[in-house]
Amino acid sequence: MNKKSDNKVLRGEKIKQKILKTTLGLIADKDPDAVSMREIAKKLNITKPVLYYYFKNKNDLVKQSFTEVSKKLMELRKEPSKDDLSLENQIALLLKNHIAFFCKIPNAAKCALKMMASSEHGPLKKIADELRDRNQAILKQILLKSVQKGEIHQACAKDMLHIISGIIEHIIIESKKGTGFDSKFHQRAARFLCAGAKQQG
């Protein structure tokens, strides 16, 4: 591929990302059904055919917009699963990453909540289920390693899975409302969780 082709691909990817970001911004405040392709095109100051060049239809555009959020959310889980970190530090990092992400991208909180609350037969249900399953798998892996090291018991690991998931949902809800978290919240929460799990041991 020559330089001219490379530049064309990069320019096309930038346009696509701009469309996805704008779509997220519009559907963050409305239901996906309430946002039209015409409204998205108008916001971007482009024609509808440009949208259809990058996306098959509105459903495809909405799905890809939410998929972008879910990909970014998955990245938040990967970093804390490093073996050289203690369980407390892994949980603290996981919570810290979520707080930083949702503070930086407020619309992501609204979109994440829309995915969680999506109807059983809605277009976002599959994305929401896949995201939940992958998130749970990474958390389970982190906790299982601690069980194998003898740091916590199996029963505590199950309880911690539910509690950590609940704290993450709380972070998303509070971020949507614009509530801030102090700089030590993630460390305190992780310390409380791990101290409680050790006492139950």
Q: Could you give the percent of the chain with pLDDT greater than 90?
A: 22
pLDDT band at 42 (very low <50, low <70, confident <90, very high): very high
State the CATH number of the domain containing residue 94: 1.10.357.10
Among candidate residues 81, 75, 98, the one with its CA nearest the CA of residue 165? 98
Domain boundaries, position 57: 3-200
pTM check: above 0.85: no
Tens digit of pLDDT for each residue in 114-162?
A: 777 777 776 677 777 777 787 788 888 889 988 888 888 888 888 999 9
Would the pLDDT of 32 be above 80?
Answer: no
Which amino acid, 126? Answer: K
150 torsion bin: left (phi>0), alpha (psi -120 to 50), beta (else): left
Collect all residues with Cβ–Cβ distance below 8 Å to 79 and sequence separation of at least 6.
93, 97
- Window from 2-11, 27-36, 126-135, 166-175 with minimum mean pLDDT: 2-11
pLDDT band at 6 (very low <50, low <70, confident <90, very high): low
Scored b (16 or more CB within 10 A) or e, 120-135 reads: eebbbeebbeebeeeb
Q: What is the pLDDT of residue 29?
A: 76
Domain count for the chain, please give it: 1
What is the C-alpha to C-alpha distance for residues 98 and 151, in angstroms, rounded to an integer? 25
pLDDT band at 188 (very low <50, low <70, confident <90, very high): very high
Angle, helices 185-200 vs 154-177, to 10°: value is 160
What is the C-alpha to C-alpha distance for residues 150 and 135, in angstroms, rounded to an integer? 23
